Structure 1
């Protein structure tokens, strides 16, 4: 199948990047090497594709949540001259909502969050808000008071809205796409393993 894809792509002037092409398969099944143009594709247990971590070995998304929080802090650091500067809070809020929050919520439509994960995301957001206001825990300000000052979008509300929007798109589609088939929940064959 990949050979056919490679041939069809070349006819259209496209070239498959062998270095970026990875193979993910169940580790319990012995797999044959996949060779494209004389180069064997690398077998991996996890891969980052379009900014999201895919793995077949883990069922929860703790590591993905940690990656997104880290991405949020990296974006916060990139704009630290704005976030911790003397600009009006209304401008700082816009930068936060448009640059930092999206980096933390990227691909959140597909997350299955636990209460623990929700708390981690909320805690990261509260810490960023404290940093925006140049206050620490020693100042004894509640999270509610901080939110009233910053007026940024709540990360959990953003994630819930994105999930509902995505669910609406998937529900309205009836053309048999993978996104619809994978969220439908019907097992094709076999018995569920516990």
Structure 2
């Protein structure tokens, strides 16, 4: 009885979290800023949700992408504009595992096969299907998004902050921007003045003749 009571007490302590006197129930996953966050740090639920969103968008445009009268390249453009953004939304900062990456590849490849009207029984390589639709691998697209996001963070740290973490624009950077603005304005003013001077000289010469 003592052991069972201790185990029940430990389970109750783990099942709730107390913040400011309020008991909050402990859960294994939650939704934060549109993304599914799991307790163990995995992205299984988020990947499942992303795949479902991709299929929902694909069904909306299935009348176009599955039409034989529509060019194949146009189908690829529709897929890249409508379906893929829904599947890769928010994944530029997600720590994906090999299993989760494989799920994304399989789901997208199934959509592409439906678009060109083939199945696995036709024994057509995935590279050939992607080449005909002009669609790259979804993992390469995610990698490009990660590099783009990393570049934004680098430029933000270099131009927008001084590195002290207070969130204010640095005086040195602000002073540099003001100097550049003054230089551009002075050059523009000098150019307009010189053009006006040349115009006045030409008018005076024409009147003298």
TM-score (norm: length of structure 2):
0.62
Please provide the CA RMSD for this pair: 2.5
Paired residues of 1:130 and 1:136 also in contact (CA < 8 A):
yes
Q: Please give the residue correspondences for 1:67-78 in structure 2 after superposition, counting only pairs within 5 Å.
A: 67-78=49-60
Per-residue Cα deviation, 1:47-102 (whole angstroms, up to 9, x for no partner)? 434432234x2311111111111111111111110121121112211110001000
Q: After TM superposition, give the deviation of residue 29 of structure 1 in Å.
A: 3.5
Gaps of 5+ in 1: 1-25, 35-41, 179-194
**Residue 101 of structure 1 aligns to a residue in which SS?**
helix
Aligned to 2:89: 106
Q: After TM superposition, give the deviation of residue 124 of structure 1 in Å.
A: 1.1
Q: Which has the larger radius of gyration?
A: 2
Aligned to 1:169: 152
Change (3 A) 1:43 1:167: farther
In the aligned structure 1, how far is the partner of 2:58 from the partner of 2:151? 31
Aligned residues: 145
1:65 maps to which of 47, 50, 54:
47
2:124 maps to which of 141, 147, 151:
141
In the aligned structure 2, how far is the partner of 1:170 from the partner of 1:128? 34
TM-score (norm: length of structure 1):
0.66
Per-residue Cα deviation, 1:8-45 (whole angstroms, up to 9, x for no partner)? xxxxxxxxxxxxxxxxxx966422349xxxxxxx8774
